[in-house]
């Protein structure tokens, strides 16, 4: 339940997750993503693949099966295999709940928040976290640059390699 609240709050507060209207592109990304998800560590989880209107190159998950990829990232990819590898990496982050673990850690260390009991309380805690980042630029830089822990990145990379291969794509 908390992961749902987190995904909703992140999406609401960030303002950068506007999906595009290009049905063919979204269907293509979704088809590749669903093929990969069937081989993930959470194959029964329902994933949603959202192509955003951002032009910077990025992909991420906020949890709850929501995988975001920007138009800018799609333009940089050179093959379906590259798209598959990227989506498999984000699916792994989502399947292992890395976003929820990371935000929980950030809330505890920067704001002292130990538990939230409602979606509104989570939104308030996130606003407090953003305020702390403004007061502590070093913490902001560290989280921006490092994001997920190195272990989380390695775990997602390993899972993505195997999922990409099992789904029939070239993991190279």
Q: pLDDT tens digits, residue range 100-150?
A: 888 888 888 888 888 888 888 888 888 888 888 788 777 666 565 556 678
pLDDT at residue 37, rounded to an integer: 97
Q: Which residues have C-beta within 8 Å of that of residue 165, sequence separation ≥ 6?
A: 171
In 3D space, the residue among 68, 136, 140, 148 whose CA is nearest the CA of residue 104 turns out to be: 148
pLDDT at residue 15, rounded to an integer: 62
- When the pLDDT of each residue in the chain is averaged and rounded to a whole number, the result is 88
Q: Which residues have C-beta within 8 Å of that of residue 169, sequence separation ≥ 6?
A: 36, 80, 81, 84, 85
Core vs surface per residue 68-85: b (16+ CB within 10 A) or e: bbbbebbeebeeebbbbb
pTM for this one? 0.84
**Which tens digits make up the pLDDT trace of 26-52?**
999 999 999 999 999 999 999 999 999
pLDDT at residue 25, rounded to an integer: 97
């Amino acid at each position: 339940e908390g992961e749902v609240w987190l995904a909703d709050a992140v999406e609401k507060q960030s303002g950068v997750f506007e999906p595009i209207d290009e049905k063919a592109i979204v269907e293509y990304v979704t088809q590749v993503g669903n093929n990969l998800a069937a081989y993930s560590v959470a194959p029964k989880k329902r994933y949603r693949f959202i192509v955003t209107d951002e032009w910077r190159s990025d992909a991420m998950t906020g949890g709850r099966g929501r995988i975001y990829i920007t138009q800018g990232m799609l333009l940089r990819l050179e093959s379906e295999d590259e798209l598959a590898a990227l989506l498999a990496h984000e699916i792994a982050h989502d399947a292992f709940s890395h976003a929820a673990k990371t935000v929980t850690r950030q809330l505890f260390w920067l704001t002292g928040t130990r538990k939230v009991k409602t979606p509104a309380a989570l939104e308030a805690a996130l606003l407090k976290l953003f305020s702390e980042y403004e007061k502590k630029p070093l913490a902001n830089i560290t989280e921006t640059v490092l994001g997920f822990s190195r272990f989380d990145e390695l775990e997602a990379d390993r899972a993505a390699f195997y999922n990409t291969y099992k789904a029939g794509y070239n993991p190279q």
